[in-house]
Amino acid sequence: MNRRDAVKAAGLGVGAAVVAAAAKAQGAAGGKFKMKYAPHFNMFRHSAGKDPIDQLKFAADQGFHAWEDNGMPRKSPELQTQIGAEMQRLGMTMGVFVSGLGSLVQPPAKMKAEIAQKAKGYIEVAKRVHAKWTTVVPGGVDQRLEWDYMTANCIENLKVASGVFEPAGLVMVLEPLNWWANHPGLFLRKVPQAYLICKGVGSPSCKILDDLYHAQIQEGNLIPNMEKAWSEIAYIQVGDNPGRKEPTTGEINYRNIFKWLHDKGYKGVIGMEHGNSKPGKEGEEAVIAAYRECDDF
Return all residues near 217 (Cβ < 8 A) that are at least 6 apart: 178, 180, 181, 182, 241
The alpha-carbon radius of gyration of the chain (Å, integer) is: 21
pLDDT of 90 above 50: yes
Taking only the tens place, the pLDDT of each residue in 222-255 is 999 999 999 999 999 999 999 999 999 999 999 9
The reply to whether 166 belongs to the active site is no
Return the bridge partners of 171, or none. Answer: 133
Active-site residue among 175, 232, 246, 284? 175
d(C-alpha 101, C-alpha 64), whole Å: 30
The reply to whether 273 belongs to the active site is yes
Taking only the tens place, the pLDDT of each residue in 174-220 is 999 999 999 999 999 999 999 999 999 999 999 999 999 999 999 99
Please, which pLDDT band fits residue 30 given cuts at 50, 70 and 90? confident
pLDDT of 20 above 80: no
Q: With CA atoms as reference, report the closest residue to 51 among 79, 23, 11.
A: 79
Taking only the tens place, the pLDDT of each residue in 256-283 is 999 999 999 999 999 999 999 999 999 9
Active-site residue among 68, 232, 273, 285? 273
- Predicted confidence at residue 280, as pLDDT, reads 98
Return the bridge partners of 248, or none. Answer: none
How confident is the prediction for the chain on average, in pLDDT? 93
Query: What φ, ψ does residue 181 adopt, rounded to 5°?
Result: -115, -30
pTM: 0.90
pLDDT of 158 above 50: yes
- CA 29 to chain CA mean position, Å: 26
d(C-alpha 164, C-alpha 234), whole Å: 18
